[in-house]
Chains A and B, each alone.
Chain A
Amino acid sequence: MGTGKTMKTPLAWKNIAHNRARTAIGVAGVGFAVILIFMQIGFKGAIRKTATQIYDALEFDLMLRSPAYLHLTEPRYFPRSRVFQAASLAEVAKARPFYLGLSEWQAPISHLGPTSEVLGDVEGGNAKDSDPAGQWRSIITMGTLPHDPAFKRQDICAKAAQLSDSRFVLVDSESKPEYGPVGGKEFGPADIGVETALGPHRVQIVGLFKLGTGMASNGACLTSPEGYVRACPWQTIDQVNFGLIKLRDPSTAASVRIQLQKIYGIPASISNAESFRKLDASLLTNVDVEILTRAEVNAHEERRWVDDTPLGQIFQLGVWVAIFVGIAIVYQVLSSDIANMMGEYATLKAMGYSNKYLTRVVLQQSVMLAVVGYVPSLLVSTILYEVVESASGMPMFMTWQIMLTVLLLAVVMCVVSGLGALRKLYQADPADLF
């Protein structure tokens, strides 16, 4: 008898559509939570993205670096000879040294006159406090061979050719205004030719490149190995931060690593950076280099930024907070909806509708709230992503993975609230109706 044959009356939808005010609150609640989740995930994604932004721009299949490596801006160094040794293998197409470290950048003092006035003209006279002219800033300084740059991107490689003198630098146009661009906003063609100090020496900006540095630093510049050593005098040209190995055939990475381990005298039991860290330090006293694949490099860097830094944890936590806020709001909406319709639901029970049917109605309502709340939030979030990206320079990408993840989270969030609200529904006692 009536075994779920044609339950056509779309009760859940009718309830949602009927009580517009309450539904609006629900949709707003879901929307608020969804936007929060989108932003947190966006930020987290941006951190992850920026964590490997520089590595992503470099050309390598295997990376050599110091076993004491901490993170991008604390890479430590190892002997350059290790890079040359790697170049001797037949499978290796290129083995390039790469230098990277934090140096000090003095925001250029404008030769157009007192900078504060110039900035004042541009920004409407209120920029005096933020006038960066002459201020020293920490900056990511990279050193690569001008004739054989280690970058994947052709535009950067082309620019690198200009680094014919150790006094020349290229500035990342994504660097923040605090590094003192002429216009006061961002580095552009007007900055070419400007002289300033990098570390203990003077340098000249000979060009621009576009890379972005993310959370590690607010600015970056690129120079030759000689220029790098000038800027970071605690390192010599024989001490490199990275060795970037490009293979003729990337599929040989594993066997090349084994060969390199033999050459470098690394115990065979060590196959990646992880096992390095677990080993007793005494075993490694004469090991000065470790070998990583690109995937290992990325994984390490992402973990470092997303899981280990407070920033990453805050955004991770933010996702949870957003979900709980959403659950609380949707629960309120659904449970007050149910409370208002106790009599009706109890009547359905008396008529012989099963708890299963009522559960389905409430869960349908939850999912509808989730979807209805999701769509506008997706639009708003996409716009917010743009706004944040243009304001902070953090790369916020709305990928379909993020959309799907958030939709899923929104549905799960609403279903959990619905399940909570259902307990009330099960208490609906038809005996109270008479």
Chain B
Amino acid sequence: MPSLTTIPATSGAFVGDLQLPKTVKVQNLNYFFGEGELRKQALFNNNLEVRRGEIVIMTGPSGSGKTTLLTLIGTLRTTQDGSLKVLGNELQGCDRDLIVRVRRQLGFIFQAHNLFESLTAYQNVNMAAELAGLDPMIAEGRIKSLLTRLGLGERIHYKPKSLSGGQKQRVAIARGLVHKPKLILADEPTAALDEKSGREVVTLFQELARDEGCTIIMVTHDNRILDVADRIINMVDGQIKSDVAVQEASVICDFLKEIPLFDHQTPNTLAKIADQMMVQEAESGDTIIRQGDPGDLFYLIRNGTVEVRVHDGKQERTVAELKEGQYFGEAALITEEPRNATVVAKGKAIFYALEKKDFREVLERSASFEEELRQALFGRQ
């Protein structure tokens, strides 16, 4: 029987093109501040994979380590323990030249705009274009179109002194994007912006992600832009508490919604269930559950098809074929009896599995929900 992995179903690690390169790959990453007695751990054994073209939003309370993780990914801090691969380069123990090379493929957008007061908006942005060795003609076109899109068309040759806070922030954003970086790291990029320019910025991000395969990781608390996220990472106390591929989570919720067992659940509860599911892989012919075994997991088919076989004492026959979005294994968990059928993968398949205790918890909560509802309706008269 294929074993259960520790990969959460919502991480989206097993959908889409599995060959898609990882822009960022974090494995067992620890980080400490200070030395000796004062040494304090800031990151605890973090794992994370970000794919090319993904827009990732990192949230979490301040001091949760998200900025530390961001600076590590951005090569601005030296890795200490664990592995960190950015754009295919292992940063653990790498030399300065590699760091400078990696940095030139990154685009930084800091909370503080840090524009040179002595340079115009155009020249500030050009500092990044020059470093990337862009052809001056091409650079000029890009800088002008970027600044114009960000609403600074009239102020291209203004110095920061004559720009508002939001305008300066937009110049800094243009500087972070002009050289078509492969990975953009942004810290509250929209915090200083009004609704409209904030929207323009994230639209730009989306275009870069879609057209250039640019990956974007941003720390933000701005819930106006959550809709652009492909993945939402939540950090607490130096650990990634949840790492959810938004689209996959919604696919799972859609599947769960169709299951009669869960049809009373609120979207919030469904999302929680999705969060608790783990990935299980199977090759063709693998037995997922066996008739007569005690039941321990509930299965949702994410990919592939399975055959359900029942042994009636004399012979085994196939009673059903299940495919993507369908489920099995619930009966044994509800009735507390052994499995009443055997399920075999018909090809390469991926399942999302929920443990018995989590499954029962949902059912019980569902019962109390109904009870509560009855009481509420009754009390109305």
Residues of A within 8 A of B (CB): 1-3, 5-9, 11, 14-15, 17-19, 341, 343-344, 346-348, 350-354, 429-431, 433-434
- Chain B residues near A2 (CB-CB < 8 A): 104, 130-133
**Contacts A17-B118, A18-B117, A434-B76 given; does A347 touch B123 at CB 8 Å:** no
How long is the Cα–Cα vector from A15 to B116 in the complex, in angstroms? 8
Please state if A350 and B76 are interface contacts (CB–CB under 8 Å): yes
Specify which chain A residues have a CB less than 8 angstroms from the CB of B159 in the assembled complex.
18
A339 to chain B, nearest CB (A): 14
Determine if A343 and B77 form an interchain contact, defined as CB atoms under 8 angstroms apart. no
* Residue pair B119, A433 in contact (C-beta under 8 Å): no
A1-B133, A430-B76 as given contacts; A9 in contact with B71, CB under 8 Å: no
CA of A433 to CA of B114, assembled, Å: 9
**CB of A370, distance to nearest CB on chain B (Å):** 19
| Given the contacts A2-B133, A14-B119, A431-B77, A351 and B128 also touching, CB distance less than 8 Å | yes
B116 touches A341 (CB 8 A): yes
Name the distance in Å between B49's Cβ and chain A's nearest Cβ: 22
Per-residue contact bits, chain B 49-78, to A (CB 8 Å; 1 contact, 0 not): 000000000000000000100110010110
Do A9 and B126 touch across chains, with their CB atoms under 8 A apart?
yes
B119 CB contacts on chain A under 8 angstroms = 9, 11, 14
> Is the CB–CB distance between B116 and A6 below 8 Å?
no
**Are A434 and B116 in touch, CB under 8 angstroms?**
no
A348 to B101, CA, bound (A): 14
Bound-state Cα–Cα, A3 to B112, Å? 28
Instruction: Give the number of residue pairs across the A-B interface with Cβ within 8 Å.
Output: 90
- B residues within 8 A CB of A341? 116-117
Q: How far is the CB of A276 from chain B (nearest CB, A)?
A: 62
New A-B pairs, 18, CB < 8 Å, besides A14-B123, A19-B118, A347-B108 = A1-B104, A1-B133, A2-B131, A2-B132, A2-B133, A7-B130, A8-B136, A11-B118, A11-B127, A17-B118, A19-B117, A344-B115, A351-B104, A351-B128, A352-B103, A352-B104, A431-B71, A434-B110
- Chain B residues with Cβ below 8 Å from A353 are 131
Tell me the bound Cα distance from A18 to B100 in angstroms.
Answer: 29
Contact A434 B71 (CB under 8 A): yes
- Asked if B111 is an interface residue, CB under 8 A from chain A, the answer is yes
Are B112 and A433 interface neighbours, CB within 8 A?
yes
Please name the 10 residue pairs, one residue from A and one from B, whose CB atoms are nearest each other, closest first: A18-B118, A2-B133, A352-B103, A352-B104, A14-B118, A343-B114, A431-B76, A347-B114, A430-B76, A433-B110
Known: A350-B74, A430-B76. A5 touches B133 (CB 8 A): yes
On chain A, the residues within 8 Å of B123 by CB distance are 9, 14
Expressed in whole angstroms, the minimum distance between the Cβ of B188 and any Cβ of chain A is 9
In the complex, which residues of chain A have a beta carbon less than 8 angstroms from the beta carbon of B127?
Answer: 9, 11, 348, 351
Shortest CB-to-CB span from A350 to chain B, Å, is 5
Number of B residues whose C-beta is below 8 Å from A?
34
Known contacts A348-B127, A350-B103; decide if A434 and B117 are in contact (CB<8 Å).
no
- Known A-B contacts A11-B116, A14-B116, A14-B118; the reply to A434 vs B132 at CB < 8 A is no
Chain A proximity of B69: nearest CB distance (Å)? 10
Within 8 A of A (CB), among B103-150: 103-104, 106, 108, 110-112, 114-119, 123, 126-128, 130-133, 136
B219 CB, nearest partner CB in chain A, Å: 8
Q: In the assembled complex, how far is the CB of residue B97 from the closest CB belonging to chain A, in whole angstroms?
A: 9
Q: Is B74 a contact of A15 with CB atoms below 8 Å?
A: no
B307 on the interface (CB 8 Å rule)? no
The smallest C-beta distance from B38 to any residue of chain A, in angstroms, reads 18
Q: Are B70 and A434 in contact (CB under 8 A)?
A: yes
Instruction: Give chain A nearest CB distance to B168 CB in angstroms.
Output: 12
Which residue of B is nearest A341, CB measured?
Answer: B116
Known: A9-B123, A343-B114, A346-B114. A434 touches B187 (CB 8 A): yes
A429 to B108, CA, bound (A): 14
Docked Cα-Cα span, A353 to B128, in Å, equals: 9
Q: How many angstroms from the CA of A433 to the CA of B106 in the assembled complex?
A: 15
Residues of A close to B187: CB separation below 8 A: 434
Residues of A within 8 A of B128 (CB): 351
Kindly provide the distance from the CB of B40 to the nearest chain A CB, expressed in whole angstroms: 16
A to B CB contacts below 8 Å, 23 in the list? A1-B132, A2-B104, A5-B133, A6-B136, A9-B123, A9-B130, A11-B116, A11-B118, A11-B119, A14-B119, A14-B123, A15-B118, A19-B117, A343-B112, A347-B108, A350-B74, A350-B110, A352-B104, A429-B76, A431-B77, A433-B108, A434-B70, A434-B71
A333 to chain B, nearest CB (A): 15
Q: What A residues does B103 contact at CB under 8 A? A: 350-352
Are the C-beta atoms of A351 and B130 separated by less than 8 Å? no
Which residue of A346, A347, A353 has the most chain B CB atoms within 10 A of its CB atom? A347
CB distance from A320 to the nearest CB of B (A): 34
